[in-house]
Amino acid sequence: MPTPHDTTRRPDTLTLEVVELIGEVVARFHADYEEAAAEQALTGAQAKLLSLLSLEPLPMRKLAQKLKCEPSNVTGIVDRLEARGLVERRPDPADRRVKVAAATQEGRRVARGLRESLRFAREPLAALSEQERLALRDALRTMLGD
């Protein structure tokens, strides 16, 4: 009996359809996210970084890991957001030698506006029942290994 991770067999038709649908959802979400970022005069990378920082201050190295890019790229993004008053650098309370980037009050407001303007992410999910949303959440968590 093949295991769930058996890659020697070709995927069945249902699996292929699900993969295609996931790809379409990702593409639509990405396009909606880019549009929402542009409405705030942000690039997609700036919007992602600001969204992360609206949750908690983070050191540059951790931001780079989360964004899957080089720390030097993160420095440039933080510089541009800082110039707009959306992000600030401050000493890490746990280690004052380390600087963390943190969203300002205005940055948190902009990040909240970004989340609220994601029509594709919000509207189709609202059409699902709570039970369907819970099942979808649980299936996605399973896929991600969470």
- Digit-coded pLDDT (tens) for 31-85: 999 999 999 999 999 999 999 999 999 999 999 999 999 988 999 999 999 999 9
Give CA–CA dist 13/4, Å, rounded: 16
Q: What does the pLDDT read at residue 37?
A: 94
pTM of the model: 0.76
